[in-house]
Structure 1
Amino acid sequence: MITLKEALTKSKEELAQLRAELEEKAKASDINAYVGFESSGEGVPILIKDNIQVKGWSVTSASKILQGYIAPYEATAIKNLKSKGMMAFGRANMDEFAMGSTTESSFYGITKNPHDTSRVPGGSSGGSAAAVAAGIAIAALGSDTGGSIRQPAAYCGVVGMKPTYGRVSRYGLAAYASSLDQIGPITQNVEDAAILYDAIKGHDEKDSTSADFEIEDIANNMDPDRKLTIAVIDNYISEADEDVQKAYADTVKSLEAAGHTVVHKNMQNTKYDIATYYILATAEAATNLARFDGVRYGARAESNTTEELFFNTRSEGFGEEVKRRILLGNFVLSSGFYDAYYLKAQKVRHLIQDEFNAIFDECDLILSPVAPSVAPKIGANEDPLEMYKSDMYTIAINLAGLPAISLPVAKNDEGMPVGLQLIAKKFDEKTLFDGALSMERAVNYQK
């Protein structure tokens, strides 16, 4: 598959041919990564997750409740993309409203992992990651609320990057948890991730949480020979399975051989991260999804009264996982439980941020697993709590608003990819990409 960097040098005629070839390959594929083939403008085709607005396109967040909704405006990330010689091309499958870690909750059906079609591709940006891994997309945009870019990238053996919160505009992204969501790239390699990140980043007056300062582009200024101090979290790795532990140990050796300094640290138990995340994320989700009531957006159920309209539309339109998170969110925000759960979770969130800051006082980057195992089999996580545990290594980064990048480092005996992530302090994407490019070269992952 041609890389993003290579595609940007092609003529209009060559790109038109490339788009036709990609569409043909995607339609012939059986992994269900694409759920639509719209195109917008001219340029290098970039696959777009189904929760990012592209004007004139259907955008449904893979939910029944938004069937028939057409985006009336363009997300800022899409506008930025087009200004850099790229175009929106095709809709990627996802977990409904980005709520899931497997892409099994989609209204459009399950997406399969191209390395083993009996396994999930991860989620919620599973369609984006699977398409890039299968060679039916050059690169894709996803969104990351608790690991939804990095985890599917790790499961599918591609690169997934979550920017610092506020670095990429959220204007035009369907909100799941507004204090956590970020749009980011999923690509074939680190250099392509830097190119796509450069294209979509920047301040946006339409997003009140957008960082109001500019920094130089990274793709043409990366330094893989820069020697960095990298922290490894000893108590984290003990919770991962044998495949991940081996890949982690081998990667640490490769980083040391490349001249980086590795230091050992511990962080609090991941169970606190999980509890904090699912209290705060579901509280914000319950509020954000209140707007989907059968009046303003998408599908509308047959009803005789306004009360029936709300009840029937939401009961029929939302899937089980979305309903579960709305219920939990309303519970933690309810009178009598707000202080015990929501307020306490906000305090723990600050403790998590402080813990990261203490490590970054001594280190440039943190190396961490992305998930405790390789991609599980489709249907394996019938218990929602087990699915939530797959996010144990990624959600703290969103709670702290930090940038992170997942890249493949090894394969297990069954040929399934193992991904690890590097984490940097806020707005230090330059160091993140320097370290990631060095790590990519050091491990020399064979696709």
Structure 2
Amino acid sequence: MTRKYFGTDGIRGHVGEGPITPDFMLRLGYAAGKVLGQLPGAKRGGHRSILIGKDTRISGYMFEAALEAGLINAGVDVGLLGPMPTPAIAYLTRTFHAQAGIVISASHNPYQDNGIKFFSADGSKLPDQVELDIEAALDLPMETAADLGKAWRIDDAAARYIEFCKASTPWGFSLEGLKIVLDCANGATYHIAPKVFRELGAEVVAVGVSPDGHNINLDCGSTRPALMLEAVREHGADLGIAFDGDGDRVLFADRNGELVDGDQLLFLIAMHRQQFLGGCSGVVGTQMSNYGFELALREREIPFERAKVGDRYVLEKMQANDWKLGGESSGHIICADSTTTGDGVISALQALRAITDFGEPLDQLKARMKMLPQHMINVRLVHRDGVLEHEDVRTAVTEVEAELAGRGRVLLRPSGTEPLIRVMVEGEKRAQVEQLAARIAEVVQRVGNS
């Protein structure tokens, strides 16, 4: 049975064990229709309209039908996009002047999981209060609207998004002469990404493009990049690109079949903007961004700030600073001057633009940033209350930071789901980093289990 899955951008208050049922999705569709249908915005044929897209997992068809029925019952028109990347739904919601967009996806999770994410009319996250209003409306009795909504299928959705992605590059931009492995994770980019890169002139070797409803993210995609890495070596490709199941994350491989993560891609894009596009105002990373990334940006006088882990926090800090670039080492990269949310295809094209303008292979470009060794220890505790504020723990952290002498960092972060504190140390020497992390972890364990 499909489990509940809601990320930081999902409807809150329903995280927990147990299945998401079609009945729940029916009620959710009705609640969303009642709330979103009252917001100001354009109408289609007298009705408010909401778009629904999904990834390729098998439960998406069932949930799509249930959401559609609930929305129509609330008097809302429904545009059906079919399997589409999450960022495509954000773009198409704006394009069609819809009231909102709904994505049925569990992103990088296995096919047994599923869930939903809402986009507002401008393709951004719904305001918190609107989400709370939808939650409250779940308890409303379902009454059939006097003027029922209608459903229509948007047959050219994929073509529209493909052209949008291509238009994010300058006129005349070409990938001719590049041989690229694309791993689409048997997910929502399977019919999008190969066309984008082929139409821009690349020779494409596509893998992970045969979804069957059960194989999304299965030993492929950005969460399991071994398939991409091996394919790059096997086919002698110039590089590889791997997306996750819903297409909002991307990782690369260089020509040697070595992984290039989100921090390295962000650095490449930032470096390109500074050298070729008149400057880079700043970059937002997260608490987990590699310290080598921060140092490399500092050396180039590009401002950098860290947000809490999660794309919503990255975007909030980007907006607060009026910066256009941010992301996570997982490959969730936001290029806010191109689109409103993390977009794997758009981010990949930004990285490829940098590679072509620099005129150097990826393995040489990534060497301009030295990734520092990072070691993390998960410390399981009897209790976590007050551990991070304990004098012994703070003293241990201070002593380790002094030994790192500004060429590394320490991060202690409680797990959001388990009784753990994650102890992470970064520095220039792996053996030192491992020893220092173990020293702090020992103190944390003693304090937390006393």
TM, length-normalised to structure 1: 0.28
Larger radius of gyration: 2
**TM-score normalised according to structure 2 size:** 0.27
